[in-house]
């Protein structure tokens, strides 16, 4: 039930998926879907859902932790692991085995290393099992294509692809998955927040009036990319240490961080924007060798003329902000809070002040990271339709549109994005340890950075 209040907003847990294992995954699972029905099976039938973790960094560990903590779900086990880096597989296996000793069943022969390791891990699965695609963005279209070809369900992390060509390839894979009745969950988890869903219902019922403005921001400290050390191999440096700082491998830091807020804007409007323009900038005299701008400010325009103002800054010692607000003709509301907390309430008018709150959503039973897994496992167990590919990839395409507008200094339209097949790297499917790196640094170790008026990425 929702409740009318005159008090402060609901407090909520602020743990991210990356912190899940360290905090204790089982405790974090909460009570969501505690009544989930598990279909009866014959005594001799093995109804274990097997997982293949492809990408053994913190986000992969967190996703596995959520999967193994779905309440009343029937048996779920981690069965195979894969990564480009052997040490990551080892660290991940050690951490997950300690946290979930009865649910991690990955002997050395099912721990795979290499650019083709994803194939070997997925080949360990059966129909009904789940491939967790939790690398950075660059190989996601490749991995999704193979998982769909092999007929297994998928959980895929954001961001989903770094460029329009990759995202459109994923949409096509999602369409094939739907024909095979495969279940695909996408890591824009806030769509599964029951508090946000409650506010969406109020908006659709007209309680805020017509939505004219959305404001979303994620501003905090930022990291930079140092020059590559002479002993580091260029390609491995780019998919390892350089991953969030290079556009081809991760989509860049802005999209990695801000895709959730951009997806929230589209959800609030129940539409995709028709155009975007924006400004960006870098810290003067920075030693950063990466391709990111350090600040992004984007204005998305929707077909009805309403706008979403979305900002990102990754600079230390500055004002920080992490929230989404929506303004209707009748009143305003907060839709999201710090570290994706379900800080969800409405205001009496347009003033977004604590003392002006007039409704607060109920506490959530679990984190949205857990909720998305509860929904996925339920869909698999009970054969419910569940395919988030198209919606998630189009939200990602909106984020790419904003990035392209800032980097190029141009107004970019949705029609341009839908027509574009641009790829940062057209040989991702064939990468191996000896492949040339997709971008090359200059003599000072700096990678090519977007210069407005000269740069294009659509």
pLDDT tens digits along 350-369: 999 999 999 999 999 999 99
pLDDT band at 328 (very low <50, low <70, confident <90, very high): very high
Query: Which pLDDT value is given to residue 358?
Result: 97
Tokens of 313: 């800054």
Which residues lie closer than 8 Å to 420 by C-beta, 6 or more apart? 164, 165, 458
pLDDT, average across residues 270-298:
97
Q: By percentage, how much of the chain surpasses pLDDT 90?
A: 88
pLDDT digits (tens, 9 = 90+) for 116-151: 999 999 999 999 999 999 999 999 999 999 999 999
For the chain, domain boundaries: 12-190+370-388, 194-365+396-430
CA angle, 220 then 224 then 229, to 5° = 160
Q: Which 3 state secondary structure label does DSSP give 59?
A: helix
Highest mean pLDDT among 24-33, 44-53, 374-383: 374-383
pLDDT band at 45 (very low <50, low <70, confident <90, very high): low
Q: Assess whether pLDDT exceeds 90 at residue 42.
A: no
pLDDT digits (tens, 9 = 90+) for 436-449: 999 999 999 999 99
Give 332-369 as a DSSP string: EEEEE-GGG----EEESSS---GGGEEEEPPPPSS-HH
Fold match flag (12-190+370-388 vs 194-365+396-430): no
**How many other C-beta atoms lie within 10 A of the C-beta of residue 83?**
26
- How far apart are alpha carbons 1 and 361 in whole angstroms? 8
Q: By percentage, how much of the chain surpasses pLDDT 70?
A: 90
Give 107-144 as a DSSP string: -GGGEEESTTHHHHHHTT--TT-EEEE-S-STTHHHHH
Q: Which 3 state secondary structure label does DSSP give 308?
A: strand
Residue whose entry in the numeric block shows the structure tokens 């909460």: 30
CB 18 within 8 A of CB 58: yes
Query: Which pLDDT value is given to residue 36?
Result: 42
Q: What topology does CATH give the domain 194-365+396-430? A: Dihydrodipicolinate Reductase; domain 2 (3.30.360)
Q: Assess whether pLDDT exceeds 50 at residue 44.
A: no
pLDDT digits (tens, 9 = 90+) for 376-420: 999 999 999 999 999 999 999 999 999 999 999 999 999 999 999
Q: Assess whether pLDDT exceeds 90 at residue 223.
A: no
Peptide bond preceding 159: is omega within 30 degrees of 0, i.e. cis? yes
- How far apart are alpha carbons 437 and 428 in whole angstroms? 10
3-state percent breakdown (helix, strand, coil) of the chain, nearest 5: 35, 20, 45
pLDDT, average across residues 147-160:
98
Q: What topology does CATH give the domain 12-190+370-388? A: Rossmann fold (3.40.50)
- How far apart are alpha carbons 167 and 163 in whole angstroms? 6
- How far apart are alpha carbons 441 and 436 in whole angstroms? 12
CA distances from 135 to 138, 267, 423, 434 (A): 8, 26, 18, 20
């Amino acid at each position: 039930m929702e409740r009318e209040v005159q008090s402060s907003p609901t407090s909520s847990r602020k743990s991210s998926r990356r912190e899940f294992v360290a905090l204790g995954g089982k405790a974090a699972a909460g009570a969501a879907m505690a009544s989930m029905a598990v279909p009866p099976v014959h005594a001799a039938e093995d109804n274990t859902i097997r997982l293949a973790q492809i990408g053994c960094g913190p986000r992969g560990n967190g996703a596995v932790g959520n999967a193994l903590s779905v309440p009343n779900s029937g048996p779920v086990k981690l069965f195979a692991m894969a990564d480009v880096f052997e040490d990551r597989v080892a660290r991940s296996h050690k951490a997950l085995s300690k946290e979930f000793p009865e649910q991690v069943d990955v002997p050395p022969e099912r721990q795979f290393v290499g650019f083709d390791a994803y194939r070997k891990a997925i080949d360990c699965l059966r129909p009904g099992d789940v491939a967790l695609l939790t690398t950075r963005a660059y190989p996601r279209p490749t991995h999704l294509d193979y998982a769909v070809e092999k007929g297994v369900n998928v959980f895929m992390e954001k961001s989903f692809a770094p460029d329009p060509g990759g995202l459109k390839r994923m949409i096509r894979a999602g369409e094939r998955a739907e024909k095979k009745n495969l279940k695909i969950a996408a890591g824009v988890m806030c769509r599964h927040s029951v508090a946000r869903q409650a506010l969406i219902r109020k908006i659709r019922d007209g309680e805020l009036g017509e939505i004219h403005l959305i404001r979303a921001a994620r501003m905090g400290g930022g990291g930079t990319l140092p020059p590559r050390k002479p002993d580091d191999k260029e390609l491995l440096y780019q998919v390892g240490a350089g991953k969030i700082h290079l556009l081809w491998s991760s989509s860049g830091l802005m999209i990695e961080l801000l895709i959730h807020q951009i997806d929230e804007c589209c959800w609030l409007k129940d539409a995709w924007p028709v155009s975007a323009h924006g400004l960006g900038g870098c810290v003067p005299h920075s030693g950063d060798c990466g391709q990111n701008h350090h600040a992004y400010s984007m204005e998305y325009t929707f077909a009805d003329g309403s706008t979403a103002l979305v900002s990102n800054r990754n600079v230390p010692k500055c004002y920080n902000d992490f929230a989404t607000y929506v303004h209707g003709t009748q009143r305003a509301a907060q839709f999201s809070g710090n570290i994706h907390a379900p800080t969800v309430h409405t205001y009496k008018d347009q003033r977004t002040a604590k003392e002006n709150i007039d409704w607060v959503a109920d506490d959530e039973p679990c984190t949205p990271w857990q909720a998305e897994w509860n929904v996925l496992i339920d869909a698999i167990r009970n054969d419910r339709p569940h395919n988030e590919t198209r919606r998630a990839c189009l939200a990602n395409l909106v984020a790419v549109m904003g990035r392209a507008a800032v980097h190029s200094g141009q107004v970019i339209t949705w029609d341009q994005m839908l027509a574009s097949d641009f790829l940062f790297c057209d040989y991702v499917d064939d990468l191996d340890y000896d492949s040339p790196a997709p971008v090359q640094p200059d003599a000072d170790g700096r990678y090519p950075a977007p210069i407005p008026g000269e740069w294009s990425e659509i």
